[in-house]
């Protein structure tokens, strides 16, 4: 790449040599995500991955894509860029695990106003951290420098994941029935949803978001909000191997009211005990500061529950122990009853 330089392109605001420098800085992080299936190196025109179908009789590929959203504004304001990549991976892999799919490989896309190699490295390091947490390999990506389209200090970040599940083991809620229980997996915070409302409530563009806040245990608003999204892949895969999992919901934008019903079949309802939900302090502060009703809070945020899982009542204690052994702090928040609303918070 030593001979690849365009003075005319540089005059237009695109420094292709900075792109090469960024890739060099990223390589050590990308290498840390490599798994046995990876068949290509970074720098080619397409990422290649060999499927290992051992013990998978009817392989079904499952794909997901998502971005970080306006949470990125907090990264800009805090000048902290090494965690939003985890969010990007989490939003994708947490979705496909709901169907029982094991993540295989990940691709990222970063569009920016100015390619600052060290900043790109920090972003991709976060992506790689998320890939390691989920067992996926980062096999490719794209960095697009777009001067005049994005401000120099801003960027957007999106990702794509492909996973695999045996067709006979897809989690599809067909066996869900009255009497099953709903288990909650705690979130790490706001995760990556509802930030348009969060930014408005805290007026993050003008307020002091870097000073300690007593209600947040001495952490600042900015630090708390930038806490990366929790990745649930490995604990859930262990659970699926041991008990019959009847439904999984990733609690994202739309909160409880939108996401839990997505895993509930017609004629049944997830009856959730609001008092059992371990609401994190950040959500209490959002509600108090913004004067937001409880209904709107549960219809916007995860409220401290990043994922809900439905299992048989007789498997509940075993499921809880498996998840604890995998590093989670699960607890029961409700049960499945007959009903047409699919969710009821009491």
DSSP string, 22-63: HHHHHHHHHHTT--TTB---TTSSS--B----TT-SSEEEEE
d(CA 242, CA 72): 38
Spatial separation of the C-alpha atoms in residues 57 and 293, rounded to whole Å: 49
Residue with tokens 């209490």: 284
For Cα atoms 270, 301, 161, give the angle at the middle one, nearest 5 degrees.
90
Encode pLDDT of 247-293 as tens digits: 999 999 999 999 999 999 999 999 999 999 999 999 999 999 999 99
CA–CA dist 234, 92 (Å, integer): 14
Question: Which residues on neighbouring strands pair with residue 250, listed in sequence order?
Answer: 307
Q: Distance between CA 280 and CA 186 in Å, rounded?
A: 9
Whether 1 shows a pLDDT value over 60: the answer reads: no
Q: Are 259 and 187 in contact (CB under 8 A)?
A: no
The answer to whether 134 and 33 are in contact (CB under 8 A) is no
Spatial distance between the Cα atoms of 103 and 116, rounded to a whole number of angstroms = 30
Question: 22-31: b or e for each residue (b if 16 or more CB lie within 10 Å)?
Answer: bbebbeebbe
Q: What is the pLDDT of residues 120-147, one digit of tens each?
A: 999 999 999 999 999 999 999 999 999 9
Sheet holding 102-112, edge to edge: 59-67, 155-166, 102-112, 137-145
Give the residue from 107, 120, 130, 109 showing the smallest Cα distance to 38: 107
C-beta of residue 268 within 8 angstroms of C-beta of residue 336: yes
pLDDT digits (tens, 9 = 90+) for 40-94: 888 889 999 999 999 999 999 999 999 999 999 999 999 999 999 999 999 999 9
DSSP class of 266:
T
- Closest C-alpha to 237, from 331, 100, 106: 100
Bigger pLDDT: 230 vs 1: 230
Contact 328, 186 (CB under 8 A): yes
Sign of the CA dihedral with 93 first, then 96, 101, and 105 last: negative
Structure tokens at 1: 């790449």
pLDDT in tens, 307-329: 999 999 999 999 999 999 999 99
Q: Using alpha carbons, select from 257, 286, 298, 314 the residue that is nearest to residue 199.
A: 286
The whole-angstrom separation of Cα 19 and Cα 115 is: 7
pLDDT for position 142: 95
Query: For position 2, what pLDDT does the model report?
Result: 59
User: Does residue 234 come out as left (phi exceeding 0), alpha (psi in the -120 to 50 range) or beta?
Assistant: alpha
10 — pLDDT class (breaks 50, 70, 90): confident
Looking at the chain, how many residues does it have? 346
CA-nearest of 227, 188, 225, 187 to 203 is 225
For residue range 283-292, list pLDDT tens digits in order. 999 999 999 9
Radius of gyration of the CA atoms of the chain, in A = 21
pLDDT at 3 over 70: no
190-231: pLDDT as tens digits: 999 999 999 999 999 999 999 999 999 999 999 999 999 999
Parallel, antiparallel, or unpaired: how do β-strands 268-272 and 343-345 relate?
A: parallel
Are the beta carbons of 106 and 138 closer than 8 angstroms? yes
């Amino acid at each position: 790449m030593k001979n690849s330089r365009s003075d005319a392109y540089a005059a237009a605001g695109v420094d292709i040599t900075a792109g090469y420098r960024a890739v060099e800085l990223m390589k050590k992080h990308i290498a840390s995500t490599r798994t046995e299936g990876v068949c290509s190196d970074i720098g080619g025109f397409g990422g290649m991955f060999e499927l290992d179908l051992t013990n998978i009789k009817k392989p079904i590929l499952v794909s997901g894509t998502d971005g970080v959203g306006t949470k990125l504004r907090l990264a800009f304001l805090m000048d902290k860029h090494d965690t939003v990549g985890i969010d990007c991976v989490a939003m994708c892999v947490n979705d496909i695990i709901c169907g029982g799919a094991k993540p295989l490989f990940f691709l990222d896309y970063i569009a920016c106003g100015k390619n600052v190699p060290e900043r790109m490295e920090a972003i991709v390091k976060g992506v790689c951290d998320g890939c390691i947490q989920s067992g996926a390999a980062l096999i490719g990506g794209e960095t697009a420098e777009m001067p005049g389209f994005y401000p120099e200090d801003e960027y957007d970040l999106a990702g794509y994941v492909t996973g695999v599940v045996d067709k006979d083991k897809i989690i599809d809620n067909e066996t869900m029935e009255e009497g099953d229980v709903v288990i909650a997996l705690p979130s790490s915070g706001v995760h990556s949803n509802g930030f348009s409302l969060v930014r408005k409530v805290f007026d993050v563009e003008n307020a002091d978001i870097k000073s300690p806040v007593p209600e947040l245990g001495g952490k600042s608003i900015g630090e708390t909000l930038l806490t990366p999204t929790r990745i649930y892949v490995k604990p859930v895969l262990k659970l699926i191997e041991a008990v019959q999992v009847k439904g999984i919901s990733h609690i994202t934008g739309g909160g409880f009211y939108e996401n839990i019903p997505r895993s509930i079949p017609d004629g049944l309802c997830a009856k959730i005990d609001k008092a059992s939900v371990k609401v994190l302090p950040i959500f209490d502060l959002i509600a108090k500061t913004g004067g937001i009703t409880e209904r709107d809070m549960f219809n916007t945020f995860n409220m401290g529950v990043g994922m809900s899982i439905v299992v048989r009542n007789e498997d509940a204690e075993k499921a809880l122990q498996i998840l604890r052994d995998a590093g989670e702090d699960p607890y029961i928040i409700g049960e499945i009853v007959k009903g047409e609303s699919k969710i009821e918070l009491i």
